[in-house]
Chain A
């Protein structure tokens, strides 16, 4: 006798137990396996694209922090680079080196948070998260030393950076750089051989290289699937072509591969910071940009490699003080394109782990 079963619809609600923000997924369950998943976003929509059309180009820089609030430096940098390309502004050398140092520091902080919350989703009661937050605290202290804020930094300006680094910055950075490799080894030791973590994240949330490219995934998601593409190497912006670093690429495309890709990227960021610290020249920290800055008419699409993926800005200017169109190609939103395909056929616990491994930031998804 066949038992009549009916699928139930379950809300993985906007109040998410894992720290991803207000994101909602409605899954249709048949027993324990998911047959359909639909995501509902827009809980954090702040209409930044519309607001930016009424503020000057420089006034829009604080908006860029608040979209991906966990990686504010790279958000700032993407916008400033886009505007500089549009207007043809040359950035002084010292500012370029400072930008690279801060962007890589931000990448370390963001990946620490991403990996920590990923393991939190796998069920460890926040122990690795606390350990990784030690480094993030030190990095945020460095940020506070330089620009006064920890999270919404507003540090980069069109043509350079806002402030020059204080005297105590370099010794503190050197101390951090000396101690970080041991810490990363400690995390590798604690986490990479952990059988439970492997069982929870291996072969979960798999996506092949072809599908990843077709779905416009970028960042650790694309690299985890085996596609060796990094905007810093493929389309070098700022002075990244002067540094010697490698890009980590995963084997399988599952959650564990993205996890190890992020850990390896932290090591590579560290090596970039060490090289930049040695070579940084004295000089001005910002180019002279007029107060009523009006870039010429035209449009630009420029992208950088943010910790979440390819962060691009499509800016259209009509010669006025305000942008005509301010469009953000947000990596978190586009990385979510693949969520449904990755999640169908797995159980709910795996869906949570998959969502954690995509590393979304709802501020960026909704803007």
Chain B
């Protein structure tokens, strides 16, 4: 009979991560917040430990919480059929998070996307550059302070601040 994937409780994750010293900063209901310096070690531990066996990275998402950025990792084990949630906080001015591309290959493209849309730099990523938007795009759209189309304003080029041609090695034609 098929059972749904068990979401491992936050305290349980903290207990498992007890083997990695000073990893857990905060414990939530089903997630733990991990210190950024210990992130790679903690995730490698969760991946290699036979009881946790988090070999599958489900999703890597970034959230802009006004004061800080948060990167949420959903891991799961296909063998044990349980799932973990890890979080990392990053500063709002210069957000930097260690990259997990060495631990799970599936983190490559997702981290590039978060860098592209939210501006969080991933230290140690082999090829961190913009993916969905072009090089030279001003700003990071998914941040809460990047205006989309505020009501009252008419659409037009005033939406985007002036682009920097040096970033993409070109020039404006017919400006």
Contacts and interface: CB of A to CB of B under 8 A. Distances in A.
Are chains A and B touching in the complex at the 8 Å CB cutoff? Answer: yes
Interface of A: 41-42, 45, 47, 49-51, 54, 211, 213-217, 227, 229, 233-236, 240-241, 299, 301, 303, 310, 312, 314, 316, 324-325, 327, 329, 333-334, 336-338, 366-367
Contacts of B117: 49-50
Given A211-B105, A337-B109, A327 B59 contact: yes
A227 to B, nearest CB: 7
Given A214-B104, A215-B105, A235-B5, 17 more contacts: A42-B131, A50-B142, A51-B148, A216-B56, A216-B57, A233-B2, A236-B3, A236-B4, A312-B74, A324-B63, A325-B61, A325-B63, A327-B59, A329-B61, A333-B109, A333-B113, A337-B109
Interface of B: 1-5, 55-59, 61, 63-64, 72, 74, 78, 81, 85, 104-110, 113, 117, 130-134, 141-142, 146, 148
Contacts, number: 93
A50 B109 contact: no
6 closest A-B pairs (Cβ-Cβ)? Answer: A216-B106, A42-B132, A235-B5, A329-B59, A327-B61, A215-B105
A90 to B, nearest CB: 16
B61 A314 contact: yes
20 contacts: A41-B131, A42-B131, A42-B133, A42-B134, A50-B142, A211-B105, A214-B55, A215-B106, A216-B56, A216-B58, A216-B106, A217-B106, A236-B2, A241-B1, A301-B74, A314-B61, A324-B63, A327-B59, A334-B109, A336-B109
Given A42-B132, A314-B61, A214 B105 contact: yes
Given A236-B2, A337-B109, A338-B105, A50 B55 contact: no
Given A213-B78, A216-B56, A49 B72 contact: no
Contact of B106 (A50, A327, A334): A334
B74 A49 contact: no
A299 B70 CA distance: 13
A349 B9 CA distance: 48
A234 B106 contact: no
A366 B134 CA distance: 13
A83 to B, nearest CB: 16
A229 B2 contact: no
A363 to B, nearest CB: 13
A337 B105 contact: yes
A240 B4 CA distance: 11
A234 B105 contact: no
A336 B59 CA distance: 14
A333 B64 CA distance: 22
Contacts of A54: 148
Given A45-B133, A215-B105, A312 B148 contact: no
B132 A45 contact: yes
B114 to A, nearest CB: 10
B148 A337 contact: no
Contact of A234 (B2, B55, B61, B64): B2
Contact of A316 (B55, B63, B107): B63
Nearest to A318: B65
Contacts of B4: 235-236
A367 B5 CA distance: 27
Contacts of A327: 59, 61
Contact of B141 (A50, A233, A235): A50
B108 A337 contact: yes
A337 B106 contact: yes
A28 to B, nearest CB: 15
Scoring A49, A214, A312, A367 by chain B CB atoms within 10 A of each residue's CB, the highest score goes to A214
Nearest to B1: A241
Given A217-B106, A314-B74, A333-B109, A366 B132 contact: yes
A226 to B, nearest CB: 12
A6 to B, nearest CB: 23
Scoring B1, B131, B134, B141 by chain A CB atoms within 10 A of each residue's CB, the highest score goes to B131
A309 B4 CA distance: 18
Contacts of A211: 105
Scoring A216, A240, A334, A366 by chain B CB atoms within 10 A of each residue's CB, the highest score goes to A216
